[in-house]
Each structure stands twice: as C-alpha cells, then as structure tokens.
C-alpha cells in the first residue's frame, strides 16, 4: 500500500455483535484493519480503524452504505499528519536522523511529506496553466499584485522537493515521478503563457503596441546571473529547511513560485510580440531557477543527515547524489553563460532572419573580440 495520500477510516459499530458484512467489504477492497472492542461489556461499541488511500475512500464509503447499517454504524475520516513506513525484519534505516536532534523530522516522515507534496497530475497541470495565464496577464497589465496572485496559486514547491528527497534517500520511483512533474509543469507553463499571449495580441484584446520597456522592467533576464542563482539557491535551501523541520511550506512555495512563474509570463509576451531577447532570456531564467532550486535542496537534505545509514546503501545513494549535483552545477553554469551573452546572440539571430544591418562576420567579430 502506498504511503502517500492516505486517510484513516474509523468505523464505530454499536450493538452486541460485529456485522461480518463490514469486514467483508474491507477484505474485498484489500484493506488492512484493526478492531478495538471491550471484552467486559458486550453492549459497548466496537471501533474498526483502517488506513485507506485517499482516492478509494468514496468507493469504500459507498460499499459500507449499501449494507443498510446506518442506525448502527458511524464513519469518521481522519487525515493523518504523516504515514511513516516501518521495517518488519530490521530497523527502518530512515527512522532517525543523527545530528538534527529534536529539530528534524524522521526520514520516514520526510519521505511521506515529500511524496504528499506531489498533487494529482490533472490538478497540478491545471493549476500550473492557470498560474502561467495569470502571470502573463500581470505582465501585460504591469501589475505586481496580479503577478503575486499567480505565485500564490502555483503548485511548484512539491516536485523539486520530492526530487531532492528522492535523491538523498535513493528512491527511484519518487525521483522519476517528480522529474516527470517538473518537466511537464515547465512545458505546460511555457506553452500556456505563449498561447494566451498570442491570443490576446491577435484578437485585439491587447494593443499590439505594448510597451516593451515595461516588459523589460518586469523581466529578470537582464539581472546579473550570479544574483539570479543566489535567489534560486536560497529558495531551495528554505524549502529543504521548512520540509525537514515539519514547518509550513506554503510561504516557501510562494518564494519558489516567485522565481519561476513571472519569467514564464514574460517569456510568453516576448514570443507573442516577437522579442527574441526577452523570450529566450526569460526561458533561460526559468531553467536556471529550476535547476538551482533542485541543487540547493539536494545539498541541504544531504547535509542535514537525510541519507541511508548502512554503508552499502550510503555509497549507492552518495554516488547518485554526486552525479546529479555535478550535472546540475555544470548545467547552471552553461545556462548562466548563455544568459550573459544573450544580447549579442540575439543580434546575430536578428541579422540572419531579417537580412539587414551589418554583415554577420562583422557582428561576430564585434561580439567575440
């Protein structure tokens, strides 16, 4: 049974005898349960406690209602704080974190919380599209309030945190799932922002004479690359600290969204108004921020002690972690270099496609000498 998105179903049965049909329903749904009863009073109520995957709760409840025991059965649904996996033959290697003391949650709870941060894929996709559309509208309206609203609803903290946790504890299933969410979410955000901006421009809802200077001011691609990386790294560290201490991650999620959502809106407007510098620059900013958040979170979780304790598992997890950290670092440096030289590259592209201005040879000589 998966540990993410679990609920505890408590069934209170009154009367002298436990109806066998209730247990048949639970057995038919392949659910584990425990019965609490009073051995001294036959008329006392009995309680059945059963962990149920959240998507299955409604189906189980309907099966119980069909039994016609409404006058004897009361159903209570509990949302647990975390579902921590336990070992059966040996101690769970993720049960304790040395060095964090009382401030850090257990490895098992961290694993559960990270998995729970990944929402249903349909909801994740829809919320990402909506936040990108609102960000695009905020760019065109030149409204920081609208941009902040797009950050608040963006569900972007879960996948990078899950990827980082999966890396340090060597969970390939969670890693692959969270990577898929990040790739799909970034693609959905870019496409939805671009399509929305194009619709607005060519349906005359927005004047084609949009102030490009205002879009430049809202864009961050002209900021020093080092500052962009520092902001994204800080967001990743803050996310790791919040998650590992059991603190509220909502506000940190807004911080992470602040590094990702506005550039998506700016990129969409840049493409719609055929401004390659703005479009490509904002796209590079998104990629740099995504990679930097993942990098910072992975290093933070590992430093905080969230890794296997057994020597064999530790070596395996450390090897994967180092490969991913090096890959992320190299990618960030390459993208930051491209961002730094973006203006010159855009001039070259303009000459190639427009066929005017000085020769390509002259421009290349000017840029690289």
Determine the average pLDDT of the residues in 308-324: 83
DSSP for 253-320 reads: HHHHHHHHHHHHHHHHHHHHTT-HHHHHHHHHHHHHHHHHHHHHHHHHHHHTT-S--SHHHHHHHHHH
pLDDT, residue 337, reads 86
pLDDT, residue 195, reads 93
For residues 263 and 339, the answer to whether their CB atoms sit within 8 Å is no
- Indicate the fold that domain 6-78 takes in CATH: Alpha-Beta Plaits (3.30.70)
Which of 46, 45, 42, 48 is CA-nearest to residue 64?
Answer: 48
pLDDT digits (tens, 9 = 90+) for 336-367: 888 877 755 555 444 444 444 444 444 334 43
Most confident listed range (88-102, 104-118, 163-177): 163-177
pLDDT, residue 344, reads 54
Residue 6 pairs with which residues in a beta bridge? 53
What average pLDDT does the chain have?
A: 77
Given pLDDT bands bounded at 50, 70 and 90, which one contains residue 291? very high
When comparing pLDDT for 365 and 261, which is higher?
261
> For the purposes of burial, counting CB atoms within 10 Å of the CB of 67, is it exposed (0-12), middle (13-18) or buried (19 or more)?
middle
CA angle (29 as vertex; 25, 32 as ends), nearest 5: 90
Question: Which percentage of the chain shows pLDDT scores above 90?
Answer: 18
pLDDT, residue 103, reads 55
Which of 102, 105, 95 is CA-nearest to residue 242?
Answer: 105
pLDDT, residue 194, reads 92
pLDDT, residue 17, reads 62
Which of 166, 190, 191 is CA-nearest to residue 178?
Answer: 166
Given pLDDT bands bounded at 50, 70 and 90, which one contains residue 178? very high
Give 138-144's long-range contacts (Cβ < 8 A, gap of 24+). Answer: 138/262, 138/265, 139/215, 139/218, 139/262, 139/265, 139/266, 139/268, 139/269, 140/197, 140/200, 140/206, 140/210, 140/269, 142/211, 142/214, 142/218
Domain residue extents for the chain: 6-78, 103-354
Determine the average pLDDT of the residues in 321-345: 84
Q: Quick count: other Cβ atoms within 10 Å of Cβ 357?
A: 11
Given pLDDT bands bounded at 50, 70 and 90, which one contains residue 112? confident
Dihedral of the CA atoms 181, 30, 76, 69 (nearest 10)?
Answer: 140
Q: Residue 250 above 80 pLDDT?
A: no
- Indicate the fold that domain 103-354 takes in CATH: Glycerol uptake facilitator protein (1.20.1080)
Which of 128, 147, 130, 133 is CA-nearest to residue 214?
Answer: 147
Determine the average pLDDT of the residues in 269-289: 86
Question: Which percentage of the chain shows pLDDT scores above 70?
Answer: 73
Least confident of 73-77, 98-102, 254-258: 98-102
Q: Residue 8 above 90 pLDDT?
A: no
| Helix/strand/coil for 147 | helix
Determine the average pLDDT of the residues in 147-161: 87
Given pLDDT bands bounded at 50, 70 and 90, which one contains residue 92? very low
Determine the average pLDDT of the residues in 161-166: 92
pLDDT, residue 5, reads 64
pLDDT, residue 86, reads 56
pLDDT, residue 127, reads 93
- The pTM (predicted TM-score) of the whole model is 0.69
């Amino acid at each position: 049974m998966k540990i993410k998105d679990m609920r505890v179903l408590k069934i209170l049965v009154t009367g002298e005898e436990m109806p066998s049909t209730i247990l048949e329903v639970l057995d038919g749904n392949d659910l584990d349960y425990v019965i609490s009863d009073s051995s001294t009073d036959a008329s006392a109520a009995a309680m059945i406690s059963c962990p149920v995957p959240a998507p299955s709760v409604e189906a189980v409840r309907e099966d119980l209602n069909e039994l016609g025991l409404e006058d004897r059965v009361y159903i209570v649904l509990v949302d647990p704080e975390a579902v921590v996996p336990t070992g059966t033959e040996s101690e769970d290697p993720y049960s304790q974190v040395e060095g964090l003391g009382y401030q850090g949650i257990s490895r098992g709870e961290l694993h559960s919380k990270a998995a729970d941060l990944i929402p249903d894929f349909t909801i994740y996709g829809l919320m990402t599209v909506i936040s990108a559309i609102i960000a695009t509208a905020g760019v065109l309206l030149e409204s920081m309030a609208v941009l902040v609203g797009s950050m608040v609803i963006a569900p972007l903290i879960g996948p990078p945190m899950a990827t980082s946790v999966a890396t340090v504890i060597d969970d390939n299933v969670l890693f692959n799932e969270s990577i898929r969410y990040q790739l799909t979410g970034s693609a959905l955000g870019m496409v939805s922002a671009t399509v929305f901006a194009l619709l607005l421009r060519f349906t005359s809802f927005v004047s084609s004479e949009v102030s490009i200077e205002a879009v430049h001011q809202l864009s961050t691609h002209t900021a020093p690359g080092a500052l962009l990386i520092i902001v994204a790294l800080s967001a990743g560290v803050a996310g790791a600290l919040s998650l590992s201490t059991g603190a509220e991650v909502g506000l940190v999620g807004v911080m992470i969204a602040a590094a990702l959502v506005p550039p998506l809106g700016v990129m969409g407007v840049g493409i719609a108004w055929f401004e390659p510098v703005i479009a490509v620059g904002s796209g590079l900013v998104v990629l740099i921020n995504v990679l930097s958040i993942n990098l910072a979170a992975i290093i933070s979780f590992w430093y905080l002690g969230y890794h296997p304790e057994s020597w064999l598992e530790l070596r395996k997890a450390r090897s994967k972690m180092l490969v991913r950290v090096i890959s992320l670092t190299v990618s960030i440096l390459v993208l930051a270099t491209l961002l730094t030289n973006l203006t010159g590259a855009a001039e070259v592209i303009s000459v190639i496609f427009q066929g005017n201005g000085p020769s390509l040879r002259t421009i290349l000589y000017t840029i690289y000498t």
